[in-house]
Chain A
Amino acid sequence: MSTHVVSSPRTTGQPGQRVLRYTLNERIHHWVGFLFYLYCLITGLAFWSPYMYWLAALVGGGPTARFWHPILGVCFAVSMFWMYKMWDRDMQITEADRRWKAAIKNYVENDDQNLPPEGRFNYGQKLFFWLMFYGIIFLLLSGIGLWFVEDIPWSLRWLRYLSVAVHVTAALATIGGFIIHVYMGTAMVRGGFTSIIRGEVTADWARTHHRLWYEEVTKRQPPPGEAGSRK
Protein backbone atom coordinates (compact mmCIF):
# COMPACT_ATOMS: atom_id res chain seq x y z
CA MET A 1 0.00 0.00 0.00
CA SER A 2 1.34 3.33 -0.97
CA THR A 3 1.91 5.74 1.82
CA HIS A 4 0.93 8.78 -0.13
CA VAL A 5 -1.95 9.79 2.09
CA VAL A 6 -0.68 10.24 5.55
CA SER A 7 -2.07 11.59 8.70
CA SER A 8 -0.15 11.77 11.88
CA PRO A 9 -1.73 12.45 15.27
CA ARG A 10 -0.85 16.05 14.69
CA THR A 11 -2.65 16.23 11.39
CA THR A 12 -5.85 17.91 12.28
CA GLY A 13 -5.74 20.56 9.62
CA GLN A 14 -6.39 23.34 12.09
CA PRO A 15 -4.66 26.60 11.28
CA GLY A 16 -1.22 26.60 12.82
CA GLN A 17 -1.20 22.84 12.76
CA ARG A 18 1.30 20.81 10.86
CA VAL A 19 0.67 18.24 8.19
CA LEU A 20 2.94 15.28 7.46
CA ARG A 21 4.01 15.63 3.86
CA TYR A 22 6.82 13.11 3.48
CA THR A 23 7.25 9.94 5.52
CA LEU A 24 10.65 9.11 6.94
CA ASN A 25 10.94 6.44 4.29
CA GLU A 26 10.33 8.95 1.51
CA ARG A 27 12.75 11.45 2.96
CA ILE A 28 15.53 8.90 3.26
CA HIS A 29 15.07 7.70 -0.29
CA HIS A 30 15.03 11.22 -1.61
CA TRP A 31 18.34 12.03 0.06
CA VAL A 32 20.02 8.75 -0.79
CA GLY A 33 19.11 9.36 -4.41
CA PHE A 34 20.40 12.92 -4.10
CA LEU A 35 23.81 11.78 -2.86
CA PHE A 36 24.20 9.27 -5.68
CA TYR A 37 23.10 11.83 -8.24
CA LEU A 38 25.40 14.49 -6.81
CA TYR A 39 28.40 12.20 -7.04
CA CYS A 40 27.61 11.29 -10.63
CA LEU A 41 27.03 14.95 -11.42
CA ILE A 42 30.38 16.11 -10.02
CA THR A 43 32.37 13.33 -11.66
CA GLY A 44 30.33 13.52 -14.84
CA LEU A 45 31.04 17.23 -15.19
CA ALA A 46 34.73 16.48 -14.64
CA PHE A 47 34.69 14.03 -17.55
CA TRP A 48 32.55 16.39 -19.60
CA SER A 49 34.86 19.37 -19.84
CA PRO A 50 38.59 19.93 -19.35
CA TYR A 51 37.65 23.18 -17.64
CA MET A 52 35.80 21.21 -14.96
CA TYR A 53 38.25 18.31 -14.69
CA TRP A 54 39.47 19.77 -11.40
CA LEU A 55 36.14 18.64 -9.91
CA ALA A 56 37.51 15.10 -10.01
CA ALA A 57 40.08 16.16 -7.41
CA LEU A 58 37.22 16.88 -4.97
CA VAL A 59 36.18 13.25 -5.03
CA GLY A 60 39.54 11.53 -5.00
CA GLY A 61 41.10 12.21 -8.40
CA GLY A 62 40.43 11.06 -11.95
CA PRO A 63 40.88 7.29 -11.65
CA THR A 64 38.85 7.14 -8.41
CA ALA A 65 36.12 9.25 -9.96
CA ARG A 66 36.08 6.99 -12.99
CA PHE A 67 35.94 3.92 -10.80
CA TRP A 68 32.93 5.06 -8.77
CA HIS A 69 30.95 6.98 -11.38
CA PRO A 70 29.40 3.93 -13.07
CA ILE A 71 28.90 2.02 -9.82
CA LEU A 72 27.16 4.89 -8.04
CA GLY A 73 25.31 5.56 -11.29
CA VAL A 74 23.79 2.10 -11.03
CA CYS A 75 23.02 2.82 -7.37
CA PHE A 76 21.23 5.99 -8.42
CA ALA A 77 19.21 4.00 -10.93
CA VAL A 78 18.19 1.57 -8.21
CA SER A 79 17.30 4.45 -5.93
CA MET A 80 15.30 6.06 -8.74
CA PHE A 81 13.37 2.86 -9.34
CA TRP A 82 12.64 2.77 -5.63
CA MET A 83 11.25 6.29 -5.80
CA TYR A 84 9.21 5.17 -8.77
CA LYS A 85 7.71 2.41 -6.65
CA MET A 86 7.03 4.90 -3.90
CA TRP A 87 5.60 7.75 -5.96
CA ASP A 88 4.37 6.27 -9.22
CA ARG A 89 0.73 6.61 -8.23
CA ASP A 90 1.11 10.15 -6.97
CA MET A 91 2.96 11.18 -10.11
CA GLN A 92 0.29 10.32 -12.66
CA ILE A 93 -0.87 13.36 -14.60
CA THR A 94 -4.43 14.27 -13.61
CA GLU A 95 -7.18 16.60 -14.79
CA ALA A 96 -6.13 19.02 -12.05
CA ASP A 97 -2.63 19.06 -13.56
CA ARG A 98 -3.98 19.96 -16.95
CA ARG A 99 -5.86 22.91 -15.52
CA TRP A 100 -2.84 23.95 -13.47
CA LYS A 101 -0.61 23.70 -16.53
CA ALA A 102 -2.86 26.08 -18.42
CA ALA A 103 -2.22 28.68 -15.69
CA ILE A 104 1.48 27.91 -15.24
CA LYS A 105 2.39 31.51 -15.99
CA ASN A 106 0.71 32.53 -12.74
CA TYR A 107 2.78 29.96 -10.89
CA VAL A 108 6.04 31.22 -12.38
CA GLU A 109 5.13 34.77 -11.46
CA ASN A 110 4.17 33.76 -7.91
CA ASP A 111 0.56 34.71 -8.48
CA ASP A 112 -0.47 31.64 -6.55
CA GLN A 113 -3.92 32.86 -5.63
CA ASN A 114 -4.95 32.57 -9.24
CA LEU A 115 -4.01 28.93 -9.70
CA PRO A 116 -6.27 25.91 -9.98
CA PRO A 117 -5.80 23.67 -6.92
CA GLU A 118 -3.27 20.87 -7.14
CA GLY A 119 -2.94 17.44 -5.56
CA ARG A 120 0.01 16.10 -3.60
CA PHE A 121 2.42 17.04 -6.38
CA ASN A 122 1.93 19.77 -8.90
CA TYR A 123 2.43 19.36 -12.60
CA GLY A 124 5.97 20.76 -12.50
CA GLN A 125 7.05 18.32 -9.80
CA LYS A 126 5.60 15.48 -11.83
CA LEU A 127 7.44 16.63 -14.93
CA PHE A 128 10.68 16.66 -12.97
CA PHE A 129 10.00 13.20 -11.62
CA TRP A 130 9.37 11.73 -15.07
CA LEU A 131 12.34 13.59 -16.51
CA MET A 132 14.58 11.97 -13.91
CA PHE A 133 12.91 8.60 -14.32
CA TYR A 134 13.26 8.37 -18.08
CA GLY A 135 16.58 10.21 -17.88
CA ILE A 136 18.10 7.54 -15.67
CA ILE A 137 16.82 4.77 -17.93
CA PHE A 138 18.64 6.35 -20.87
CA LEU A 139 21.68 7.10 -18.71
CA LEU A 140 21.79 3.53 -17.46
CA LEU A 141 21.52 1.90 -20.89
CA SER A 142 24.02 4.25 -22.54
CA GLY A 143 26.22 4.10 -19.45
CA ILE A 144 26.53 0.35 -19.84
CA GLY A 145 27.66 0.96 -23.42
CA LEU A 146 30.32 3.40 -22.21
CA TRP A 147 31.37 1.20 -19.33
CA PHE A 148 31.93 -1.90 -21.46
CA VAL A 149 32.86 -0.09 -24.64
CA GLU A 150 35.54 -2.62 -25.58
CA ASP A 151 32.99 -5.44 -25.47
CA ILE A 152 30.95 -3.77 -28.18
CA PRO A 153 32.32 -5.39 -31.34
CA TRP A 154 33.83 -3.19 -34.01
CA SER A 155 31.08 -4.15 -36.44
CA LEU A 156 28.52 -2.69 -34.02
CA ARG A 157 30.58 0.40 -33.26
CA TRP A 158 27.59 2.67 -33.97
CA LEU A 159 26.48 1.50 -30.52
CA ARG A 160 29.60 3.08 -29.01
CA TYR A 161 28.75 6.39 -30.65
CA LEU A 162 25.09 6.12 -29.78
CA SER A 163 26.03 5.54 -26.13
CA VAL A 164 28.06 8.74 -26.08
CA ALA A 165 25.29 10.77 -27.68
CA VAL A 166 22.52 9.40 -25.47
CA HIS A 167 24.52 9.66 -22.24
CA VAL A 168 25.43 13.29 -22.86
CA THR A 169 21.93 14.31 -23.94
CA ALA A 170 20.20 12.56 -21.05
CA ALA A 171 22.72 13.93 -18.55
CA LEU A 172 22.24 17.50 -19.73
CA ALA A 173 18.46 17.10 -19.58
CA THR A 174 18.58 15.86 -15.99
CA ILE A 175 20.98 18.67 -15.06
CA GLY A 176 18.49 21.20 -16.42
CA GLY A 177 15.76 19.67 -14.27
CA PHE A 178 18.11 19.42 -11.31
CA ILE A 179 18.99 23.13 -11.39
CA ILE A 180 15.32 24.09 -11.33
CA HIS A 181 14.51 21.47 -8.67
CA VAL A 182 17.25 22.68 -6.34
CA TYR A 183 16.33 26.31 -6.87
CA MET A 184 12.66 25.71 -6.17
CA GLY A 185 13.27 23.37 -3.27
CA THR A 186 15.68 25.67 -1.47
CA ALA A 187 15.07 29.29 -2.44
CA MET A 188 11.79 29.68 -4.22
CA VAL A 189 9.26 27.58 -2.33
CA ARG A 190 9.80 28.44 1.31
CA GLY A 191 9.01 25.49 3.52
CA GLY A 192 9.70 22.99 0.79
CA PHE A 193 13.22 22.30 1.98
CA THR A 194 12.24 21.63 5.59
CA SER A 195 9.42 19.40 4.38
CA ILE A 196 11.84 17.02 2.70
CA ILE A 197 14.07 17.00 5.80
CA ARG A 198 11.64 16.95 8.71
CA GLY A 199 8.66 15.80 6.71
CA GLU A 200 6.15 18.38 7.89
CA VAL A 201 4.55 21.47 6.47
CA THR A 202 2.15 23.94 7.97
CA ALA A 203 -1.49 23.62 7.16
CA ASP A 204 -1.37 26.97 5.41
CA TRP A 205 1.53 25.79 3.30
CA ALA A 206 -0.36 22.68 2.32
CA ARG A 207 -3.48 24.68 1.53
CA THR A 208 -1.58 27.21 -0.54
CA HIS A 209 0.47 24.85 -2.65
CA HIS A 210 -1.42 21.57 -2.69
CA ARG A 211 -5.04 22.31 -1.88
CA LEU A 212 -6.55 19.09 -3.13
CA TRP A 213 -4.04 17.04 -1.22
CA TYR A 214 -4.61 19.15 1.88
CA GLU A 215 -8.32 18.60 1.70
CA GLU A 216 -7.80 14.91 1.13
CA VAL A 217 -5.50 14.33 4.12
CA THR A 218 -7.40 16.57 6.49
CA LYS A 219 -10.84 15.50 5.25
CA ARG A 220 -11.89 19.11 5.68
CA GLN A 221 -13.96 18.93 2.55
CA PRO A 222 -14.83 16.00 0.42
CA PRO A 223 -12.30 16.08 -2.42
CA PRO A 224 -14.00 17.34 -5.56
CA GLY A 225 -14.54 14.07 -7.35
CA GLU A 226 -13.40 15.01 -10.81
CA ALA A 227 -10.57 17.30 -9.83
CA GLY A 228 -8.84 14.68 -7.74
CA SER A 229 -9.40 11.79 -10.10
CA ARG A 230 -6.55 10.16 -11.97
CA LYS A 231 -5.87 10.21 -15.70
Chain B
Amino acid sequence: MSQATLAIKKISGHPGPVPGAGVERDYQVAKLIDTTTCIGCKACEVACLEWNGYPFTETSFDNSYQTMPSTTWKYWNLIKFNEHEREDGTLQLLMRKDQCMHCADPGCLAACPADGAIVQYTNGIVDFQQQNCIGCGYCVSGCPFDIPKFNPETKKMFKCTLCADRVSVGLEPACIKSCPTGCLHFGSKEDMSFMAESRAKQLREHFGFEKAGVYDPPGVGGTGVIYVLHDVTNPEAYGGLPKDPHIPWVVRFWKGPAKWIGNLAMLFGVIGVTLHYFRFGPKEVHPPKNGDGGKP
Protein backbone atom coordinates (compact mmCIF):
# COMPACT_ATOMS: atom_id res chain seq x y z
CA MET B 1 0.00 0.00 0.00
CA SER B 2 1.27 3.41 -0.85
CA GLN B 3 2.07 5.57 2.12
CA ALA B 4 2.30 9.09 0.84
CA THR B 5 3.23 10.47 4.24
CA LEU B 6 6.30 8.26 4.56
CA ALA B 7 9.48 9.19 2.72
CA ILE B 8 11.13 6.44 0.69
CA LYS B 9 14.83 5.62 0.88
CA LYS B 10 15.09 2.48 -1.26
CA ILE B 11 13.10 1.44 -4.35
CA SER B 12 13.22 -1.93 -6.06
CA GLY B 13 14.16 -2.21 -9.73
CA HIS B 14 14.75 1.51 -9.88
CA PRO B 15 17.16 3.13 -12.31
CA GLY B 16 18.66 6.30 -10.97
CA PRO B 17 18.45 8.01 -7.61
CA VAL B 18 15.75 7.65 -4.99
CA PRO B 19 13.95 10.79 -3.83
CA GLY B 20 14.18 10.17 -0.09
CA ALA B 21 17.69 8.70 0.05
CA GLY B 22 20.09 10.61 2.24
CA VAL B 23 17.50 13.08 3.46
CA GLU B 24 16.08 10.91 6.25
CA ARG B 25 14.84 12.63 9.33
CA ASP B 26 12.79 9.70 10.60
CA TYR B 27 14.27 7.45 13.21
CA GLN B 28 14.28 3.72 12.58
CA VAL B 29 11.29 1.93 14.01
CA ALA B 30 11.33 -1.60 15.40
CA LYS B 31 9.06 -4.21 16.82
CA LEU B 32 10.31 -6.10 19.85
CA ILE B 33 9.06 -9.65 20.37
CA ASP B 34 9.90 -11.20 23.70
CA THR B 35 9.45 -14.92 23.06
CA THR B 36 9.92 -15.61 26.77
CA THR B 37 6.63 -13.95 27.67
CA CYS B 38 4.56 -15.04 24.67
CA ILE B 39 1.76 -17.37 25.73
CA GLY B 40 0.73 -18.35 22.21
CA CYS B 41 -2.76 -16.86 22.46
CA LYS B 42 -2.70 -15.74 18.80
CA ALA B 43 -4.40 -12.43 19.54
CA CYS B 44 -1.84 -10.85 17.22
CA GLU B 45 -2.83 -13.20 14.39
CA VAL B 46 -6.44 -12.11 14.73
CA ALA B 47 -5.57 -8.43 15.09
CA CYS B 48 -3.53 -8.63 11.90
CA LEU B 49 -6.43 -10.13 9.96
CA GLU B 50 -8.82 -7.60 11.42
CA TRP B 51 -6.77 -4.54 10.66
CA ASN B 52 -5.79 -5.64 7.17
CA GLY B 53 -9.32 -6.72 6.35
CA TYR B 54 -8.67 -10.32 5.45
CA PRO B 55 -11.31 -12.99 6.02
CA PHE B 56 -10.64 -15.76 8.50
CA THR B 57 -8.81 -18.61 6.86
CA GLU B 58 -9.17 -22.38 7.16
CA THR B 59 -6.79 -23.63 9.78
CA SER B 60 -5.04 -26.96 9.72
CA PHE B 61 -4.23 -29.31 12.58
CA ASP B 62 -0.84 -30.95 12.74
CA ASN B 63 -0.73 -32.14 16.36
CA SER B 64 0.45 -28.80 17.60
CA TYR B 65 -1.04 -25.44 18.49
CA GLN B 66 0.05 -23.92 15.24
CA THR B 67 -2.72 -22.39 13.14
CA MET B 68 -1.25 -23.47 9.81
CA PRO B 69 2.14 -24.60 8.51
CA SER B 70 3.33 -21.19 7.35
CA THR B 71 2.19 -17.66 6.67
CA THR B 72 0.16 -17.12 3.51
CA TRP B 73 -0.55 -14.16 1.26
CA LYS B 74 -3.54 -13.28 3.43
CA TYR B 75 -2.16 -14.51 6.74
CA TRP B 76 0.92 -12.43 7.45
CA ASN B 77 1.46 -13.19 11.08
CA LEU B 78 1.77 -16.69 12.51
CA ILE B 79 2.82 -18.02 15.90
CA LYS B 80 5.20 -20.92 15.34
CA PHE B 81 5.17 -23.57 18.06
CA ASN B 82 7.95 -25.98 18.79
CA GLU B 83 8.25 -28.56 21.56
CA HIS B 84 11.92 -28.31 22.19
CA GLU B 85 13.80 -30.92 24.18
CA ARG B 86 16.56 -29.40 26.22
CA GLU B 87 19.87 -31.04 26.97
CA ASP B 88 18.69 -32.13 30.41
CA GLY B 89 15.73 -33.91 28.85
CA THR B 90 13.08 -31.43 29.95
CA LEU B 91 10.64 -30.00 27.46
CA GLN B 92 10.24 -26.39 26.54
CA LEU B 93 7.34 -25.06 24.49
CA LEU B 94 8.76 -22.36 22.28
CA MET B 95 6.50 -19.83 20.57
CA ARG B 96 7.64 -17.31 18.06
CA LYS B 97 5.65 -14.74 16.19
CA ASP B 98 6.68 -15.17 12.56
CA GLN B 99 6.30 -12.35 10.06
CA CYS B 100 8.37 -10.12 7.81
CA MET B 101 11.54 -9.03 9.63
CA HIS B 102 11.81 -5.67 7.86
CA CYS B 103 15.49 -6.17 7.16
CA ALA B 104 17.68 -3.08 6.97
CA ASP B 105 19.20 -4.74 3.89
CA PRO B 106 16.13 -6.41 2.38
CA GLY B 107 16.80 -9.33 0.05
CA CYS B 108 13.28 -9.09 -1.40
CA LEU B 109 13.92 -5.53 -2.53
CA ALA B 110 17.35 -6.37 -3.91
CA ALA B 111 15.91 -9.19 -6.02
CA CYS B 112 12.80 -7.41 -7.31
CA PRO B 113 12.97 -6.32 -10.97
CA ALA B 114 9.85 -4.13 -10.99
CA ASP B 115 10.30 -0.42 -10.48
CA GLY B 116 8.67 0.53 -7.20
CA ALA B 117 7.12 -2.84 -6.36
CA ILE B 118 9.04 -2.90 -3.08
CA VAL B 119 10.06 0.21 -1.18
CA GLN B 120 11.82 0.88 2.07
CA TYR B 121 10.65 3.94 3.95
CA THR B 122 13.09 6.12 5.77
CA ASN B 123 11.82 4.69 9.06
CA GLY B 124 13.01 1.25 7.92
CA ILE B 125 9.67 -0.37 7.04
CA VAL B 126 9.84 -2.55 3.94
CA ASP B 127 6.57 -2.40 2.04
CA PHE B 128 5.25 -4.09 -1.10
CA GLN B 129 3.39 -1.84 -3.55
CA GLN B 130 1.11 -4.35 -5.22
CA GLN B 131 0.10 -2.00 -8.02
CA ASN B 132 3.69 -2.15 -9.30
CA CYS B 133 4.28 -5.84 -8.63
CA ILE B 134 4.50 -8.07 -11.69
CA GLY B 135 4.25 -11.33 -9.78
CA CYS B 136 7.59 -12.74 -10.87
CA GLY B 137 8.48 -14.29 -7.52
CA TYR B 138 12.07 -13.06 -7.47
CA CYS B 139 11.49 -11.68 -3.97
CA VAL B 140 10.78 -15.23 -2.79
CA SER B 141 14.31 -16.17 -3.81
CA GLY B 142 15.77 -13.04 -2.29
CA CYS B 143 14.20 -13.25 1.16
CA PRO B 144 16.27 -15.14 3.75
CA PHE B 145 13.17 -15.65 5.93
CA ASP B 146 10.80 -17.13 3.32
CA ILE B 147 8.24 -14.37 3.85
CA PRO B 148 6.78 -13.01 0.56
CA LYS B 149 3.69 -14.98 -0.46
CA PHE B 150 1.94 -15.03 -3.82
CA ASN B 151 -1.76 -14.52 -4.39
CA PRO B 152 -2.41 -16.71 -7.44
CA GLU B 153 -5.63 -14.88 -8.28
CA THR B 154 -4.29 -11.36 -8.45
CA LYS B 155 -0.73 -12.51 -9.23
CA LYS B 156 0.69 -10.14 -6.65
CA MET B 157 2.96 -10.66 -3.66
CA PHE B 158 1.93 -9.89 -0.12
CA LYS B 159 3.52 -9.79 3.30
CA CYS B 160 3.40 -7.95 6.62
CA THR B 161 3.57 -4.18 6.17
CA LEU B 162 4.50 -3.51 9.80
CA CYS B 163 1.22 -1.62 9.61
CA ALA B 164 2.91 1.15 7.65
CA ASP B 165 -0.52 2.77 7.30
CA ARG B 166 -0.91 2.94 11.09
CA VAL B 167 2.69 3.86 11.78
CA SER B 168 2.53 6.72 9.27
CA VAL B 169 -0.16 8.35 11.39
CA GLY B 170 1.55 7.73 14.70
CA LEU B 171 -0.17 4.49 15.75
CA GLU B 172 1.54 1.26 16.72
CA PRO B 173 1.00 -1.87 14.60
CA ALA B 174 -2.23 -3.78 15.22
CA CYS B 175 -0.46 -6.86 16.63
CA ILE B 176 1.28 -4.77 19.28
CA LYS B 177 -2.02 -3.29 20.35
CA SER B 178 -3.60 -6.70 20.85
CA CYS B 179 -0.91 -8.49 22.86
CA PRO B 180 -2.27 -9.27 26.33
CA THR B 181 1.06 -10.12 28.01
CA GLY B 182 3.05 -7.18 26.82
CA CYS B 183 5.53 -9.36 25.01
CA LEU B 184 5.23 -7.11 21.97
CA HIS B 185 6.59 -3.59 21.94
CA PHE B 186 6.98 -0.98 19.29
CA GLY B 187 9.14 2.12 19.15
CA SER B 188 12.42 3.41 17.87
CA LYS B 189 15.01 0.78 17.04
CA GLU B 190 17.29 2.31 19.63
CA ASP B 191 14.72 2.07 22.41
CA MET B 192 13.67 -1.44 21.42
CA SER B 193 17.28 -2.65 21.33
CA PHE B 194 17.88 -1.19 24.77
CA MET B 195 14.75 -2.78 26.13
CA ALA B 196 15.59 -6.13 24.56
CA GLU B 197 19.11 -6.11 25.93
CA SER B 198 17.93 -5.35 29.45
CA ARG B 199 15.36 -8.11 29.24
CA ALA B 200 18.01 -10.57 28.02
CA LYS B 201 20.27 -9.51 30.87
CA GLN B 202 17.46 -10.07 33.32
CA LEU B 203 16.88 -13.55 31.88
CA ARG B 204 20.55 -14.38 32.18
CA GLU B 205 21.03 -13.02 35.63
CA HIS B 206 17.77 -13.79 37.37
CA PHE B 207 16.03 -16.60 35.52
CA GLY B 208 18.85 -18.99 34.77
CA PHE B 209 18.73 -18.65 30.98
CA GLU B 210 22.44 -18.25 30.56
CA LYS B 211 22.29 -18.13 26.81
CA ALA B 212 19.47 -15.59 26.63
CA GLY B 213 20.07 -12.86 24.12
CA VAL B 214 18.73 -10.60 21.41
CA TYR B 215 18.19 -11.72 17.81
CA ASP B 216 19.00 -8.81 15.51
CA PRO B 217 20.95 -10.53 12.72
CA PRO B 218 23.83 -8.43 11.36
CA GLY B 219 23.89 -10.46 8.11
CA VAL B 220 20.92 -8.44 6.83
CA GLY B 221 22.08 -5.21 8.45
CA GLY B 222 19.87 -5.76 11.49
CA THR B 223 16.12 -6.09 11.36
CA GLY B 224 13.09 -3.98 12.14
CA VAL B 225 11.74 -6.89 14.16
CA ILE B 226 13.95 -8.11 16.98
CA TYR B 227 13.48 -11.07 19.28
CA VAL B 228 14.47 -11.85 22.84
CA LEU B 229 15.26 -15.58 22.90
CA HIS B 230 15.91 -17.87 25.89
CA ASP B 231 18.75 -19.37 23.88
CA VAL B 232 20.13 -17.04 21.28
CA THR B 233 22.68 -19.66 20.18
CA ASN B 234 19.93 -21.88 18.81
CA PRO B 235 17.44 -19.68 16.94
CA GLU B 236 16.52 -22.62 14.66
CA ALA B 237 14.59 -24.15 17.55
CA TYR B 238 12.13 -21.27 17.35
CA GLY B 239 10.27 -22.51 14.29
CA GLY B 240 13.29 -22.33 12.03
CA LEU B 241 14.63 -18.85 12.65
CA PRO B 242 17.85 -18.84 10.59
CA LYS B 243 21.06 -18.62 12.56
CA ASP B 244 22.96 -16.30 10.28
CA PRO B 245 20.54 -14.96 7.66
CA HIS B 246 21.93 -13.01 4.76
CA ILE B 247 20.84 -12.31 1.22
CA PRO B 248 21.72 -15.47 -0.77
CA TRP B 249 25.07 -14.88 -2.47
CA VAL B 250 23.58 -15.96 -5.80
CA VAL B 251 21.02 -13.16 -5.52
CA ARG B 252 23.74 -10.70 -4.50
CA PHE B 253 25.88 -11.70 -7.46
CA TRP B 254 22.91 -11.70 -9.82
CA LYS B 255 21.86 -8.20 -8.82
CA GLY B 256 25.41 -6.89 -8.51
CA PRO B 257 28.47 -7.91 -10.56
CA ALA B 258 26.51 -10.23 -12.89
CA LYS B 259 24.51 -7.25 -14.10
CA TRP B 260 27.59 -5.40 -15.20
CA ILE B 261 29.39 -8.41 -16.57
CA GLY B 262 26.29 -9.41 -18.54
CA ASN B 263 25.51 -5.92 -19.80
CA LEU B 264 29.09 -5.30 -20.86
CA ALA B 265 29.24 -8.69 -22.58
CA MET B 266 26.07 -7.92 -24.55
CA LEU B 267 27.32 -4.42 -25.39
CA PHE B 268 30.71 -5.69 -26.54
CA GLY B 269 28.95 -8.38 -28.55
CA VAL B 270 27.03 -5.76 -30.50
CA ILE B 271 30.05 -3.48 -30.83
CA GLY B 272 32.16 -6.48 -31.84
CA VAL B 273 29.98 -7.55 -34.76
CA THR B 274 29.68 -3.92 -35.89
CA LEU B 275 33.45 -3.52 -35.91
CA HIS B 276 33.77 -6.79 -37.75
CA TYR B 277 31.53 -5.41 -40.45
CA PHE B 278 33.54 -2.19 -40.66
CA ARG B 279 36.77 -4.15 -40.93
CA PHE B 280 35.82 -7.12 -43.13
CA GLY B 281 32.47 -6.26 -44.63
CA PRO B 282 30.07 -8.76 -46.15
CA LYS B 283 31.05 -12.11 -47.56
CA GLU B 284 31.37 -12.21 -51.31
CA VAL B 285 30.01 -14.98 -53.47
CA HIS B 286 32.77 -16.35 -55.65
CA PRO B 287 32.25 -17.50 -59.21
CA PRO B 288 33.50 -20.99 -59.93
CA LYS B 289 37.27 -21.14 -60.23
CA ASN B 290 37.43 -23.45 -63.21
CA GLY B 291 35.57 -21.00 -65.39
CA ASP B 292 32.52 -23.13 -66.08
CA GLY B 293 30.26 -20.17 -65.79
CA GLY B 294 30.14 -16.59 -64.57
CA LYS B 295 28.43 -14.89 -61.73
CA PRO B 296 24.68 -14.97 -62.16
Q: A residues within 8 Å of B by Cβ?
A: 14-17, 46-51, 53, 56, 62-63, 65-67, 108-110, 112-113, 146-147, 149-150, 154, 157, 160-165, 168, 172, 175-176, 179-180, 183, 187-191, 202-205, 207-209
Name B269's contact: one of A51, A180, A190, A202 (CB within 8 Å).
A180
Decide yes or no: A48 and B262 within 8 Å by CB, A63-B134, A112-B286 being known contacts: yes
B132, B135, B293: residue with the most chain A Cβ atoms closer than 10 Å:
B293
| Chain B neighbourhood of A189, CB < 8 A | 282-283
| Chain A neighbourhood of B289, CB < 8 A | 113
B89 at the interface (CB under 8 A from A): no
Number of A-B contacts defined by CB within 8 Å: 144
Docked complex Cα distance between A149 and B292 (Å): 64
Tell me the minimal C-beta distance from B110 to chain A in angstroms.
12
Decide yes or no: A168 and B258 within 8 Å by CB, A53-B115, A65-B134 being known contacts: yes
Q: Is the CB of B283 within 8 A of A112?
A: yes
Tell me the minimal C-beta distance from B283 to chain A in angstroms.
5
Docked complex Cα distance between A190 and B281 (Å): 10
Q: Is the CB of B280 within 8 A of A63?
A: no
| Chain A neighbourhood of B293, CB < 8 A | 14-16
Q: Is the CB of B266 within 8 A of A172?
A: yes
Q: Is the CB of A208 within 8 A of B115?
A: no
| Chain B neighbourhood of A205, CB < 8 A | 285
Q: Is the CB of B13 within 8 A of A50?
A: yes
B1 at the interface (CB under 8 A from A): no
Decide yes or no: A53 and B146 within 8 Å by CB, A48-B262, A161-B250, A189-B282 being known contacts: no
Interface of A is mostly: helix
The B256-296 residues at the A interface (CB cut-off 8 A) are: 258-259, 262-263, 265-266, 269-270, 273, 276-277, 280-289, 292-296
Docked complex Cα distance between A190 and B277 (Å): 12
Identify the stretch in B136-144, B161-169, B187-195 within 8 Å (CB) of chain A at 4 or more residues: B136-144
Q: Is the CB of B250 within 8 A of A48?
A: no
Q: Is the CB of B285 within 8 A of A204?
A: yes
Decide yes or no: A161 and B134 within 8 Å by CB, A108-B280, A204-B288 being known contacts: no
Q: Is the CB of B282 within 8 A of A187?
A: yes
Decide yes or no: A62 and B114 within 8 Å by CB, A15-B294, A50-B14 being known contacts: yes
The contact sample of 22 A-B pairs, CB cut-off 8 A, is A48-B113, A50-B113, A50-B115, A53-B13, A56-B134, A66-B136, A108-B276, A146-B137, A150-B149, A157-B146, A160-B140, A164-B254, A165-B254, A168-B262, A176-B266, A179-B269, A179-B270, A180-B273, A187-B282, A188-B277, A190-B282, A209-B285
Q: Is the CB of B285 within 8 A of A190?
A: yes
Interface size on B, residues (CB 8 A): 51
| Chain B neighbourhood of A191, CB < 8 A | 285
| Chain A neighbourhood of B296, CB < 8 A | 15-17, 202-204
Docked complex Cα distance between A172 and B265 (Å): 9
| Residue on A nearest B274 in the bound complex, by CB | A183
Q: Is the CB of B155 within 8 A of A183?
A: no
Q: Is the CB of B286 within 8 A of A204?
A: yes
| Chain B neighbourhood of A16, CB < 8 A | 293, 296
Decide yes or no: A207 and B273 within 8 Å by CB, A16-B296, A62-B134, A154-B146 being known contacts: no
| Chain A neighbourhood of B250, CB < 8 A | 161-162, 164-165
Name A63's contact: one of B115, B135, B266, B277 (CB within 8 Å).
B135
| Chain B neighbourhood of A176, CB < 8 A | 265-266, 269
| Chain A neighbourhood of B134, CB < 8 A | 56, 62-63, 65-66
| Chain A neighbourhood of B14, CB < 8 A | 50
C-beta contact mask, B127-160 vs A, less than 8 Å → 1, else 0? 0000011111110110000100110000100000
| Chain B neighbourhood of A62, CB < 8 A | 114, 132, 134
